[in-house]
Amino acid sequence: MPEWARYPRTIDERVTRFLCATTHLDGSFANHAWWVLLSPNRQGQAPEQEIDPVAVGRHAILSLRRRTRRDRLLALLLLVVVIAAVLLFFAGLDRQERLGRVVLSVIALPFVGWFVALVIVYQHYAAVRRSAIDIHHQRHGRARRSAPPLAPEVETRLEQLHRANVAIFNAYVPFVGTGHTLDTWKLTLYAPGQGFPAPSRAILPEEVHHYLYHEVPNLLPNVIAERRLYVDGGMAPNVPGLIPRSPGPRTPVRPPAIVDDDLLDEYTLRPTRTARTYVCFVENSGNGDVVVTVLVRAEKVGDTVYVEGRSQVLLPVQPGFKDVYWVSQNADQAFLPVLRAAVPATTALWLESPIRLIKYWLGDRSDERTLKHEGLRIERGQPVNYGAGSSLRQDAMLPADPGYYGAADEVMYFRTMTQQILTCLSTFLEDHKLGTQDFEEQRRLIIEQTFNVDGIRNDAPKGTANLAL
């Protein structure tokens, strides 16, 4: 049985509910969720281990369908009003009706149309409120149960995103979906002739990976151990079996989110500049607010064995994703609050509905042309970047340290995991009778370095918005 099936990841329902509710309360986020999870594309997708991508995908589609239906009704209503006004105008010119009656009818038409538009917008907003409340208060249990299912093959792919063990990246930092950087370090595990005793046999990187993979979770029961393959999107075709053949230039097929253990082993034994396997240790705060990942990799250069480590953190979601807290589930709050929201929005939604529908259509045509041109480049043997930019959970997180208990949690988790990883490496050397003062000094310096880390390194200024909202 492959590793990803032996150790399935749990789903953070709390964070998932925030994201699902926001797809209904914020149409721009529904568009973003559709693009990240469901849009036809050839690029890989960032792992979504911390949320339920099936639930978010279902609610994004439900939100998009409701808004499209609303806009079509509003556009049809606008067309009816315009046609009726034109007919009345010409009827007045032909003197078939009294001029005063015609003028009153033409003046009354927009007002009647506006009230009908208000009914359409109110019904849409009421449906949005019901969905947000159903999700947040778990009226149907898990978030995915409160929206219609998607096509089976789509949901299967989204399920794989939750268990993904390969990440194809298109940016300089390969660790897409893991959040901000907390710390990095590198040490020499073994170097012949530098104070290390001669080993009875060669130390292999895969031995180090295997030892850490099994020992660290034994010492830290709340930590999940995984192996992940990180691949440069521009060089992804060089990884055997990673990029599927497309039936044609207009038919995109996404790369798999899960690869077999043999491919993970291959890039542990023979890592390249653009494809490497890491052992990942993940600790979740329990409610999904703070998720710390420590990635470790061993590599042998000549007879010297190096170990590198990197700590990443997913922060709590931005405040905008918690707007559902302000939606009252009381029955007496079901009418007036929704009406107060619908009245000022009706005029713009009604008059701009044809423009939005045209933009949707033009956007679809533009996406089709992009996919076709990309497919033709592939057929001509020209380079294509298959990398993913970010995960939905990463887009939704705070852009800077939260400044409350979450900031303390992220540092505490990564310090604990880093110390245990270094302790396991020390034990590994002692088991091979290779323990030295040089390694202990490196270990001490790295531990001291971790105590100088108070938060994330690559944060944006506080208040900077992320892509998701």
Q: Does residue 465 lie in a domain region? A: no
CA distance 267 to 270: 5
Distance of CA 147 to the CA centre of its chain: 19
Domain boundary among 328, 351, 379: 379
Same domain, 209 and 278: yes
Look at residue 384 and tell me if it is in a domain: no
Summarised one tens digit per residue, pLDDT across range 355-404 is 999 999 999 999 889 888 888 888 888 888 899 888 999 999 888 766 65
Shared domain check, 311 and 210 = yes
> Do residues 319 and 45 lie in contact, with contact meaning Cβ atoms separated by under 8 Å?
no
Res 454: pLDDT: 57
User: Phi first, then psi: what are they for 188, rounded to 5°?
Assistant: -95, 115
Say which residue, 438 or 24, is predicted with more confidence: 24
Instruction: Say what the pLDDT of residue 467 is.
Output: 38
CA distances from 331 to 141, 143, 334 (A): 21, 22, 5
392, 48 contact by CB (below 8 A): yes
Do 339 and 236 share a structural domain? no
For 339-355, how does the pLDDT look when each residue is reduced to its tens digit (9 = 90+)?
A: 999 999 999 999 999 99
DSSP 233-269: GGGGGGSTTTSPPPSBTTB--PPPS---HHHHHHHHH
Q: What is the pLDDT of residue 199?
A: 65
Q: Is the pLDDT of residue 459 over 60?
A: no
Question: Would 296 be classed as within a structural domain?
Answer: yes
Q: Are residues 345 and 260 in the same domain?
A: no
59 Cβ contact partners less than 8 Å away, ≥ 6 residues apart:
20, 21, 23, 24, 30, 33, 131, 135, 143, 146, 147
- Paired residues of 317 in beta bridges: 397
The whole-number pLDDT of residue 460 equals 44
Render pLDDT for 287-308 as a digit per residue (tens, 0 to 9). Answer: 778 889 999 999 988 888 899 9
Handedness of CA 393, 399, 404, 406 (dihedral sign): positive
DSSP letter (8 states) at residue 15 = H
Residues 187 and 275 in one domain: yes
CATH number at residue 227: 3.30.530
pLDDT at 469 over 60: no
Separation between Cα atoms, residue 445 and residue 449, nearest integer Å: 6
Count structural domains, the chain: 2
**What does residue 276 show for φ and ψ, rounded to 5 degrees?**
-145, 145
Residues 365, 406, single domain; the answer is no
How many other C-beta atoms are found inside a 10 Å radius of the C-beta of residue 372?
15
Are 308 and 204 in a shared domain? yes
CA distance linking residue 113 with residue 430, whole number of Å: 81
* C-alpha dihedral, 453 to 459 to 463 to 467, nearest 10°: -140
Please tell me whether residues 12 and 59 are part of one structural domain.
yes
C-alpha span between 158 and 258 (Å, rounded): 11
| Residues 395-442: tens digit of each pLDDT | 998 887 666 566 677 778 888 899 999 999 989 988 888 767 788 888
| CA separation for the pair 173, 49 (Å, rounded) | 19
Residue pLDDT, tens place only, 95-135: 655 666 777 777 888 899 999 999 999 999 999 999 999 99
Answer yes or no: is 81 within a domain. yes
Which one is predicted more confidently, 440 or 229? 229
pLDDT band of residue 464 (cuts 50, 70, 90) is very low
Residues 89 and 230 in one domain: no
CA distances from 406 to 302, 313, 356, 400, 436 (A): 42, 10, 40, 11, 37
In a domain, 467, yes or no: no
* 418 and 272 assigned to the same domain: yes
Helix axes 53-93, 336-379, angle to 10 degrees: 110
**Pairing mode of beta strands 224-232, 166-169:** parallel
Asked, for residue 457, whether it belongs to a domain, the answer is: no
Residue 157 in any domain: the answer is no
Beta carbons of 75 and 359 less than 8 angstroms apart = no
Q: Which two tokens stand for residue 56?
A: 């978010």
Backbone angles phi, psi at 251, to 5 degrees: -115, 95
Cα(438)–Cα(194) distance, rounded to whole angstroms?
8
Tell me, yes or no, whether 386 lies in a domain.
no
**Domain, as residue range, for 414:** 164-317+399-450
Contact 275, 191 (CB under 8 A): no
The backbone region for 246, taken as left when phi is positive above 0, alpha when psi lies in -120 to 50, beta otherwise, is beta
Percent residues over pLDDT 70 in the chain: 88
Same domain, 226 and 362: no
- 441 lies in the same domain as 351: no
Task: Tell me the two tokens of residue 345.
Answer: 């929005």
Strands of 224-232's sheet in order across: 166-169, 224-232, 275-284, 291-301, 304-314, 180-190
Q: How far apart are CA 446 and CA 452, in angstroms?
A: 10
